[in-house]
Amino acid sequence: MPMEQTQLPAPASGPTRPRGRAPRGALWRFLLQVDKAVEAVAVGLLAAMIVIVFVSVVTRKLFSFVFFWSEEVTLLCLTTFSFAGIAIGFREKLHLSMDVIAGFLPRKVNWVLDRIIDLAIFAFGVYLVVKGWAWTELAHLSTLSATGLPNSVVYAVIPITGVLTCVYAALQLAGVDTRRFQHVDEEIKRS
């Protein structure tokens, strides 16, 4: 577990205010807005996919008609949703890991391990930026069959995920608690 952390401000609607000091300044506020937008896009894509698939079934069964773009756009939403989930999973420390040995290790060793993991996540983010950008450039030469969009719109999510992953890993290395989903369950109950 991290030894000392400041906390990223929870969404305004959250039930509790964070206790830790949060960095201030225009750049920080901008980053928070970007972060909120990414989260909103990812969750919004889930809603969009439900609507597209539902409408496709209804139009196909009732009117023998399917929007030509529906499957392609759904898959585009799905890949974006999945890759945004990778970055947000790092932000929330949600990705599953095996903690069998951690319990037997001294606190300081675990702290060092946390830093090593954060560094590895940062490196993975750099990998996604570099290799993802190469794939995006390559894919820009072809187009998607139904919508005619460049294929790079599918691959662009890889380097974007890489950038977000680097930012979250760097913040965690700096001791900032980036988690923001902790209050979701309480929020549902409170409503």
Partner 1 sequence: MTSNDMTAVWVLCGSFVLLLLLRFPVALTLALSSIATLSYMGIDAGVVAQQMLQGVNMFSLLAIPFFILTGQILGEGGLANRIVRFANLFVGRLPGGLSVVNSVACMFFGNLSGSAIADTSAIGSVMIPVMKQKGYSAEYAVGVTISSSIQGVIVPPSHNLILYSIAAAGIAGGLSIERVFLAGVVPGFLLLATLIAVGLIISAMRRYPRGEPTARAEIPGIIVHGLLSLTPAVIILGSVMTGWATPTEGGALAVVYSLVLAGLIYRELKPRQLWPVLVRTFRTVLMVFFLIGASQAFGYAMNMLHLPDLITQWVLAISNEPWIILLLINVLLLLLGGPMDMAPMILILTPILLPICMKLGMDPVHFGILLVFNAGMGLLTPPVGTVLFVGCAIGKVSVNAGTRAMLPFFAAMIVALLLITYVPAISLWLPNLVAR
Distances (CA, A) of 89 to 12, 64, 83, 136, 190: 21, 40, 10, 23, 25
Q: Report, in Å, the least distance between residue 54 CB and partner 1.
A: 4
Q: Report, in Å, the least distance between residue 110 CB and partner 1.
A: 9
Interface with partner 1 by CB under 8 A: which residues?
Answer: 39, 42-43, 46-47, 49-50, 53-54, 56-57, 61, 71, 74-75, 78-79, 81-83, 85-86, 88-89, 92, 94-103, 113, 116-117, 120-121, 124, 127-128, 131-132, 134-135, 154-155, 157-158, 181, 184-185, 187-188, 191
Tokens standing for residue 7 = 């906390």
Distances (CA, A) of 71 to 42, 152, 157: 18, 17, 18
Closer residue to partner 1 (CB): 23 or 93:
93
Closer residue to partner 1 (CB): 50 or 174:
50
Closer residue to partner 1 (CB): 83 or 171:
83
**Amino acid residing at 42:** A
Q: Determine the Cα–Cα distance for residues 140 and 152; give it in Å rounded to an integer.
A: 5
Q: Report, in Å, the least distance between residue 25 CB and partner 1.
A: 27
Closer residue to partner 1 (CB): 27 or 191:
191
Closer residue to partner 1 (CB): 35 or 39:
39
Q: Determine the Cα–Cα distance for residues 7 and 177; give it in Å rounded to an integer.
A: 4
Cβ(155)–Cβ(132) under 8 Å? yes
Q: Report, in Å, the least distance between residue 159 CB and partner 1.
A: 9
Count CB neighbours of 156 within 10 A: 19
Q: Report, in Å, the least distance between residue 22 CB and partner 1.
A: 21
Burial grade of 21 (CB within 10 A; 0-12, 13-18, 19 or more) = exposed
